[in-house]
Amino acid sequence: MTQQVLPAAHDSYAALRFPDFRRFIASVVTLTVATQIQAVVVGWQIYAVTKDPLSLGLVGLAEAVPFIAIALFAGHVADRTNRRRVVALATVAMLACAAALLAFTLAPATLARGRVWPVYAVIFASGVARSFLQPARQALGAELVPRELYPNAVAWRSSVWQFAAVVGPALGGLLYGFGDAAVAYGVDMALVAVALVAIVRLGRVPLPSVPIPTAVAAGQSIGESLVAGIRFVRSEPVLLAALTLDLFSVFFGGATALLPIFAADILQVGPEGLGVLRAAPSVGAVVMSLVLAHRPPLRRSGAVLLVNVALFGLAMIGFGLSRGFVLSTVLLVISGAVDMVSVVIRSTLLQVSTPPELLGRVSSVNQIFIGSSNEIGAFESGVAARLLGTVPSVVFGGLMTLLVVGLTTWKVPELRRLGRLDKLRPELRKR
């Protein structure tokens, strides 16, 4: 009689059973909370000094320009040096930036008479550090768990990031409101220091790629190395389609930049309501990421991705048309939840379909897609609202998201047929 072998039960905490991955997660959550605190306090300080809304936009621009511009070189560095060292050095730089902001606060003359360029300089430096941090950290996370646990690891990493994105702004506001900017920056520095200790305590992580002499012997210049990630993404139709789908859905469908207008003029809920609206997508994302971490890998990843991006577009259309605060909040929660499904699938696909020696550079290409969709998407929202009106611009963005989903489904049927990502073998990738 043949003994029946039962399938192994899904372990929702499989990735967290690796000590180095737990340290990595601790670094992600503490550094994210710290950067969120810093963003809130910098915004308050800049506006208090200048009373100019444009100065707030320049804060984002000061960080976005280096973050996107240096991305390809940062990916090259992540694939040619020890990734743990790159993450540690970038974290040291961010600790120095937090210390500089604290020093400016303790010396009020630095920001006197509306002179805020020192803060912009620090934010620019922080953007450079983040540009090196992101591709190296994403690639490093893939080295800490076995390949078959990538979906579980991505779900947990996304979950703690979103949790930090909810806690960070609230904590920053409380520290600033009940203390002052110096107290908030002190906590910011302490959290960055904890993140640095967690990274330094990681076990020995091997070099991510073939030795440099091999690449040099093959005749690959630094310029060729820089564009290797772009060439790889272009050669992978499924990965390119997933990245493009996210780029245009957030570019057109995101309404975060317009939330102050909805809170003040349309829903009339004031600054307290604005805080709720801004937190709502992250709340949905946290809940969904926990759900994904506790369930087996998705069987039809491509179809699920397309459906959830379409649901994101519909949620944005509904939010634009809503005139009730509760309904608007619920729709934003839904948008964050379905967007998290897209994030997990895209991040997992990137890790399982990319050779380890290219993961840093491909992650930097993903960084450019994300940075472009967020920062430039916010600019697009403002321009569209100026030309069409606030509500029509949000509805238009949602409709454009649905159009992008339809075009992607038609043009890239391989994405629609994509199955379980943990079963995707490198030799089956289309070249």
Going from the first residue of the chain to its last (431 residues), give the mean pLDDT of each consecutive group of 10, the final group possibly shorter.
46 80 90 86 73 61 77 76 88 93 80 72 88 83 77 77 76 75 90 93 57 42 65 78 79 70 78 70 82 74 88 92 92 90 80 72 70 60 72 88 89 80 51 39
**Could you give the CA distance from residue 268 to residue 274 in angstroms, rounded to a whole number?**
10
φ and ψ at 220, to 5 degrees? Answer: -85, 120
Q: What is the pLDDT of residue 189?
A: 94
Calculate the alpha carbon distances from 141 to 67, 119, 338, 397 in Å.
Answer: 20, 31, 23, 34
Alpha-carbon distance 107 to 95, whole Å? 19
Kindly report the CATH class assigned to 229-431: mainly alpha
The pLDDT assigned to 225 comes to 63
Say whether 262 sits in a helix, a strand or coil. helix
For 201, which DSSP code? T
Segments making up each domain of the chain, as ranges: 14-208, 229-431
Tell me how far apart the alpha carbons of residues 397 and 301 are, in angstroms, rounded to a whole number: 25
Whole-angstrom distance, CA of residue 325 vs CA of residue 382: 22
Position of tokens 């994101």?
312
User: What CA–CA distance (Å, rounded) separates 55 from 97?
Assistant: 19
Are 88 and 200 in contact by the 8 Å Cβ rule? The answer is yes
Give the separation between CA 181 and CA 162, rounded to whole angstroms: 24
Provide the 3-class DSSP secondary structure of residue 159. helix
Q: Which of the four CATH numbers 1.10.3720.10, 1.20.120.1630, 3.40.390.10, 1.20.1250.20 does domain 14-208 have?
A: 1.20.1250.20
pLDDT at position 342, please?
83
Same topology between domain 14-208 and domain 229-431: yes
